[in-house]
Structures are given as C-alpha cells and as structure tokens.
Amino acid sequence: MTMQLAFDFAAPPSAVRPITARPHEAGRTTRGHRGKIGHLAGLSAEMRVSQDYERRGYPLLRSRWRGQGGEIDLIFADGDGLVFVEVKKSRTFDRALERLSRRQILRLFSAAEEYAGTRPLGSLTGMRFDVALMDQRGMVRIMENALSL
C-alpha cells in the first residue's frame, strides 16, 4: 500500500500526517467491477467454445440470442437440426456445472422452442442441448446432448 502525505502549509512541519487509502481503494474490487470481470470472462468462454464448435464443422447461427423465454448462449446448425449450447465458466468443471440450475434449464428449453419456431420445420426441427464447461485454466469440456426434454 502506498502512503501519501497531506501538507497544511499554514501548520508547523510537525503537523504533517499520513493519509492511507480506504480498504475498497487498496486492491479490493467493487461489486460492479467484479460483475464486469465476470461478464467479460463469460464472453471469452463463449468465444472459445464457439471456435471449438466451428472447428468441428458446426456453423454458428446465433450468439446470445434472446427471446421471450430467455437467452441462449450459442446456437449452431447441425445439418437441418440445431445445437443449443449453454456455456458455464468457473474455477473447476464441477463448480461450473453446479451453476446450472433447473430453472435455467427450463428457460433454455423455452427459448429453444421459441427459436425453433423461426426455422422452416418449426418445432419439428431436430434439437440437441449441450453444456460447455470452462475451468480457470481455460480448459473446455463439452457435454453433448447433456440436457433433454
């Protein structure tokens, strides 16, 4: 921690007193700052997962698609079908997977059904739900067909 000195030029030299930084200014992050870091880390994870799918031949259709039912992180084409991918990032794969709640899964299904309605086959479109996990080292684990209706 750095120390600053405050000078009162009208006071004698013995009146110089140190001013120390407040705890939130000395290396601690604010909640808003942590939120922004988390958001950027999530975008980075989605980009990395998207590159992996595209490398394997799945063209990206949409990223962060939002419908009335919720948001879908990544949507890829698989022939005439669709692959919906939920991306989770945390320190470990297990912690990332724990962050996927039942409520979130139901919102994902609802949003996927809404998105499929925009396709030529509508709700008859083949759909697969994958979960992509990323740990703190940037390693990715993809669980294909991890979720089902």
- Looking at residue 24, its pLDDT comes to 52
Neighbours of 129 (CB within 10 A): 21
Contact 35, 65 (CB under 8 A): no
**pLDDT at 117 > cutoff 80:** yes
pTM: 0.74
Residue with tokens 């998105």: 115
Instruction: Look at 119 and 40; give whichever has higher pLDDT.
Output: 119
Domains of the chain: 29-147 (3.40.1350.10)
Mean pLDDT of the chain: 82
pLDDT band at 44 (very low <50, low <70, confident <90, very high): confident
Instruction: Look at 9 and 27; give whichever has higher pLDDT.
Output: 27
Contact 119, 125 (CB under 8 A): yes
Instruction: Look at 10 and 136; give whichever has higher pLDDT.
Output: 136
Over residues 67-74, the mean pLDDT reads: 92
**pLDDT at 115 > cutoff 60:** yes
Two tokens, residue 34: 């942590």
